[in-house]
Homo-oligomer: A and B are copies of this chain.
Amino acid sequence: MFYHDDELQYEVEVEEPNPKFAKMLQQAIGGAEGEMRVALQYMFQAFAVPAEKSEYRRLLMETATEELGHIEMLATAVAKNLQGASDEQREAAREDAVIAEMMDSGQPRQALSAGLHAMPVDSNGTPFNGGCVVASGNLAADMYANVMAESTGRLLATRLYEITDDPGMEDMLSYLIARDTMHQNQWHAALETMDDHVPVPNSFPQEKENQDHNYEFMSTYRDEQPDPEERWTQGESVDGNGEFSYGEQPGGGEPDLDEVIEAMHNEIN
């Protein structure tokens, strides 16, 4: 079960409020690369860990809980960017200026639906969708999903860092980028504890795989091409279980569907 206290996980200051940057920060809250996704992803992965693997459950749950605090930090950052007023704005009435900026920001819902606060949406206002949360039941697949999530998450954070020059936002993003560095490392570390996990899942007997095409790079060029002699077309496979080769699509005959049954009314003439 969960607990909280009143503090943010890390300080969040905004010197120069900027509604357009608020809109961009939303990507880090509700976007495909954002904190809602990872918080829920690690949580649902943890929920699926059996009792005898409690070290992984703990690893996942600790990090899920940390990410909940990142949502709170980012929501605070969004509100501070939306409610404040830039230097130029201070000359005009603050209220009109903020509204005018919202009109221009491309994300009016932050005023209209949220009264100038954060929302569970991405930077285009598309609502967070649970469909991208990966919790497969297989720990190795989950760890790769987590490496990916932290890779795109850190990429997003560095792009946000390049876009702002507000010292408070830079400090907050510097912290979040650091945490993404750690999280990438910890998921890789967890994979190191699972030897020989490639190909995932490793419990399916590879002899049941089709043996002609399981280490073959399949070229789909219109005109047959010579082997480009890349790391992925020759030499030992990365999992050590095979030898890369180079070939073409095998071909399996034309599909031969029957007319369907009458009650479907597919018939024409």
Contact = CB atoms under 8 A, between A and B. Distances in A.
Given A130-B127, A215-B182, A266 B177 contact: no
Interface string A134-168: 11111111001101101110111011111100000
A23 to B, nearest CB: 7
Contacts of A130: 30, 36, 119-121, 127-129
**Range for the number of chain A residues in contact with chain B:** 35 or more
Given A189-B238, A198-B184, A257-B79, A159 B269 contact: no
Nearest to A195: B269
Given A163-B103, A185-B199, A194-B269, A223 B52 contact: no
A155 B194 CA distance: 16
Contacts of A68: 1-2, 68
A152 B219 CA distance: 23
Given A4-B221, A129-B131, A136 B123 contact: no
B258 A83 contact: yes
Nearest to A84: B258
20 contacts: A2-B3, A6-B254, A23-B108, A65-B220, A95-B263, A102-B163, A116-B261, A120-B130, A121-B131, A126-B127, A140-B268, A147-B148, A155-B201, A159-B264, A181-B209, A181-B215, A188-B238, A194-B268, A197-B269, A203-B262
Interface string A1-40: 1111111111110000000110110010011110010001
Contact of A159 (B6, B112, B257): B112
Nearest to A80: B257
B228 A175 contact: no
CB-based closest 8 A-B pairs: A115-B137, A124-B125, A106-B106, A128-B130, A120-B130, A178-B214, A11-B252, A127-B131
A1 B4 contact: yes
A115 to B, nearest CB: 2
Interface string A217-245: 11111110000101110000111001010
A105 B68 CA distance: 30
A61 interface: yes
A76 B257 contact: yes
Given A118-B44, A231-B193, A174 B210 contact: yes
A80 B264 CA distance: 15
Contacts of A135: 114, 117, 119-120
